[in-house]
Structure 1
Amino acid sequence: MASHTLEDGPIMLKVRFPTPCDLAALGVKVGMALLWENGGLLLGNSFRFDMSRSTAWIPPVIKTMASPWEVSLRLRTLVRRLLERIPDAGLAPLLPCAEDLAYGSLTGISCNSEAAIHAVSSVRRLVQGICEGDLREIDVAIGRIVGLGPGLTPSGDDVLVGAILGMNAVIDAYVSEGGNEKIVGAGWREIVSFTTQSIVRHASGTTDISAALLRHAAKGVASAPVHRLLLHLLHPGCTADLVEGALAVADAGHTSGWDMLAGLALGMHLGLRIIDEKYTGLAGGRPVRSGQRRLLELETR
C-alpha cells in the first residue's frame, strides 16, 4: 500500500488514507495480510478499503518512434548530461558505457563498484546471447545477473528490468512505426519469449519484492517514470526535458533508479543494434545517417 500521491507502478495499491492516520496505533503491522471481502480489502480489524471505484493502472503503449539515429543521439546526449551525477556504486557505472556494452565493444570498466566490475562479463554474455540467438548463453547470463547486489531490489535485477523494457520498447515502436516486420518473425519472438521466461524463472533467486518487479517487467510493466522516459526518448519531435525525466527514474532507492537507467540505456542501444543488423546488414554497426558531420556537431554540444 502507498499514498495516492505517489507515481503509478506495479506491486502497489495507491490509497487515500484518512488524515491524520497512525497505522501503527491502529494495530497495522508489517507482514499483515490484506483480505478480500465483499468488494473491499480488509487490513487487520481496523481498515476496510472500498474498491468499487478503483482502477488498474496500465502503462502507455508506444506506437511511434523517431529515427534510430535520432533515438541514439538522444541517448548519448542524455548520458553525457548525467555524467557528473552518476553514483560510483551498484551497477550505475555501467550507464556511461551502456552503448559500448550493447555493441560488444566493452571488455571491462574502471570504477569503485565491485558489483559493476564483475557484472560486465555477464552483461556481455547476455548481449551476445540475444544477438546470436544463443538461448543457453541468455539463460546462464540472466542467472548470474539476477540477485546481484544487496538491498530489497538488487542492482542486477534493476538492470534487467530496464534492459528488457528498453529493448522491447525500441523494437516494438520501430515495427509500429512501419519498420520491416521481419524483426518480429518467429525467430525473434522465440528469443524474446525465452529471455522473458528465463527472467521469470530465475526470479526465485532474489528478494520477493524484486522478483515481483522482474515478473512485471517481463510483461512490459514498470513504474510510471520509467515508461514516461521511454516515451520521451522514442517519440518523434519530443521537446521534454530528458534529464528531468531521467532523474525522476533515478530517484528510486539508493542506486536502484540509476541501475534501472543503466539497464534502459543498455536495452535501448541493444534494440537499435538489432534493428541495424536486421535491416542494414552491418553487424555491430551503429545508427548513422547522411550528413555525418552534422551528427558530430550535435554530439559535441
Structure 2
Amino acid sequence: MTSRTVYSIASIGAPLAEPLPGTGRWGTVFAVFRRSCYLESLDGQVFCLADSRLGEGPLTMGVEIPSDVTLGDLGVREGCHLESDGVDLRLGRAIVLQTSGMSTWAPELVRKTATPNELLRRINTLMNLVRPLLPSDGLGPIIPHLADLAIGELPTIKLMNAAAQSAVPCVSKLTDGLIRLDHESVDQAVSGLVGLGPGLTPSGDDLLAGMLVALLAMPDTASQPSVDLLARCVTRHAAEKTNRISSAMLEQSAKGNGSAAQHRLLRCLLGVDTQPDISRATLELIQVGHTSGWDTLAGILLGIHVSLRMNQDLEVTSAATQEKDGVPA
C-alpha cells in the first residue's frame, strides 16, 4: 500500500479556478523544478503548481510545501497526473492536496490613480533605489532609458547585452506605433520582442507582460484602441514564437492579469495612497527569477510612461477640438 503525503492548497488563481472540472483529471505535469511544476489540462490550459511562498498568480495553484522539501523529493515527475475526486486532489501516487482551506486569488484593481506629477515622482524614487542594483543581464540596462524609449527615441546605452541590444529598436518602434495607432509598426515590434532572450519566460516576453498589465491597470488607458491592439498582437505572436509556459503567461497579461508581486508594485506606483511602500514592492518583484523580475519591472515602467504620453496627447487633441469648435479650452 502506497503511503500518502498530505499538503494544503493555500490559493488558486481566479482564471484557473473557473474552467477546471469538479472531478477527474486536472492536468499532466510536463516540467518539474525544485519548488514548482507546470501542468497542461486536457483542453490545453497551462498552469503552475508551486510552493505558496513563491506568490500568487492568475494561473498558479499555491501549495503549502515545507521549505526543506522539493517536488523531486516528493516523486513529482513529468507525466504525473493531477486528479480530483470531487473533494481533494491527488498528484501522482503519493501526494494528496487538500482543498478545504483554498482561497481564490484575484488582483486588487486600481480604482483611481495619482496625478501624473505624483506618478513621475514615485518612478524617480524607484529609480534611485534600483539604479545601483541594475543587472547586466536581461533588459536591466534599458531601465534608466525607458522615458526616452516611451517617446520613440533611440538612446545611446552603454554595455548592453545581446538581448537588450535587440530589444531597444523594437521597444522604440513599439511605443511610437502605439501612440500613432500604427498597426504594422506595433505588430513588427511585438514580433521582435516575443521570445527574445533565454529562460523559462524570455526577457522580451516579461517586458511585454509587465507593459500590458500596467496599461490595463490604468483606468485612463485600459480601454484605448492602441492597448487592445497591443494585446491582440502579443497574444497572436505568443502562440507561435515562444514556449507554452510563457505563452500562457502572456495570454493572461493581455487580459490585465499579472502576478501578485506585479500588482502590489502597480498599486504602490499608481494608487492614491499617500505613503506607498514602493521600495518593498520593488525589491519583491526584482527577486523573481534570474532576470524575469527586472524585465517585468522594465515593462511596468514603460507601460506607465506610455500611458502618461497617451493621456497627454489626448488632452492636447481635446483642447484643439474644443478651440476649433469655439469652446474655451
Normalised to the residue count of structure 1, the TM-score between the two structures is 0.82
1:216 matches 2:264 = no
Q: Is the 8 A contact 1:158 1:260 kept in 2?
A: yes
Out of 252, 271, 281, the residue aligned to residue 307 of structure 2 is 271
Deviation per CA, 1:32-75, whole angstroms, max 9, x where unpaired?
Answer: 23223323322111123233442221001100111111102211
Q: 1:179 matched to which residue of 2?
A: none
Out of 261, 266, 277, the residue aligned to residue 225 of structure 1 is 261
In structure 2, give the amino acid aligned to 1:249: L
In structure 2, give the amino acid aligned to 1:192: V
Q: 2:95 matched to which residue of 1?
A: 47
Shift in alpha-carbon separation, 1:244–1:17, aligned structure 2, 3 A: closer
Q: Is the 8 A contact 2:286 2:294 kept in 1?
A: yes
Q: Distance in 2 between matches of 1:26 and 1:66?
A: 47
Q: 1:261 matched to which residue of 2?
A: 297
Q: Distance in 2 between matches of 1:26 and 1:128?
A: 50
Q: 1:78 matched to which residue of 2?
A: 126
Q: 2:81 matched to which residue of 1?
A: 33
Deviation per CA, 1:232-262, whole angstroms, max 9, x where unpaired?
Answer: 1111243133122111100011111111111
Shift in alpha-carbon separation, 1:163–1:39, aligned structure 2, 3 A: same
Q: Is the 8 A contact 2:89 2:98 kept in 1?
A: yes
Shift in alpha-carbon separation, 1:23–1:85, aligned structure 2, 3 A: closer
Shift in alpha-carbon separation, 1:11–1:76, aligned structure 2, 3 A: same
In structure 2, give the amino acid aligned to 1:168: L
State the Cα RMSD in Å: 2.2
Q: Is the 8 A contact 1:233 1:242 kept in 2?
A: yes
Q: Distance in 2 between matches of 1:160 and 1:19?
A: 32
Q: How many residues align?
A: 269
Q: Map 1:117-136 onto structure 2 (within 5 A).
A: 117-136=165-184
Deviation per CA, 1:167-213, whole angstroms, max 9, x where unpaired?
Answer: 2223x1x47xxxxxxx84xxx3x332222121111112112221111
The structure in which a higher percent of residues are helix is 1
Where does the alignment leave 5 or more consecutive residues of structure 2 unmatched?
A: 1-48, 319-329
The structure in which a higher percent of residues are strand is 2
Q: Distance in 1 between matches of 2:53 and 2:158?
A: 40
- Greater alpha carbon shift after TM alignment, 22-31 vs 128-137: 22-31
Q: 1:191 matched to which residue of 2?
A: 226
SS of the residue corresponding to residue 273 of structure 1 reads: helix
Deviation per CA, 1:96-132, whole angstroms, max 9, x where unpaired?
Answer: 1111111223344222312111211111111111111
Shift in alpha-carbon separation, 1:99–1:36, aligned structure 2, 3 A: same
- Greater alpha carbon shift after TM alignment, 249-258 vs 11-20: 11-20
Q: 2:152 matched to which residue of 1?
A: 104
Q: Is the 8 A contact 1:111 1:117 kept in 2?
A: no
1:91 matches 2:139 = yes
Q: Distance in 2 between matches of 1:31 and 1:278?
A: 52
Q: Distance in 1 between matches of 2:216 and 2:72?
A: 42
Where does the alignment leave 5 or more consecutive residues of structure 1 unmatched?
A: 176-182, 283-301
In structure 1, give the amino acid aligned to 2:257: V
Q: 1:234 matched to which residue of 2?
A: 270
Deviation at 1:5, TM superposition (A): 3.1
Q: Distance in 1 between matches of 2:65 and 2:164?
A: 40
1:143 matches 2:179 = no
Q: 2:316 matched to which residue of 1?
A: 280
Q: Distance in 1 between matches of 2:87 and 2:50?
A: 20
SS of the residue corresponding to residue 89 of structure 2 reads: strand
Q: Is the 8 A contact 2:170 2:189 kept in 1?
A: yes
Q: Distance in 2 between matches of 1:261 and 1:120?
A: 15
Shift in alpha-carbon separation, 1:208–1:133, aligned structure 2, 3 A: same
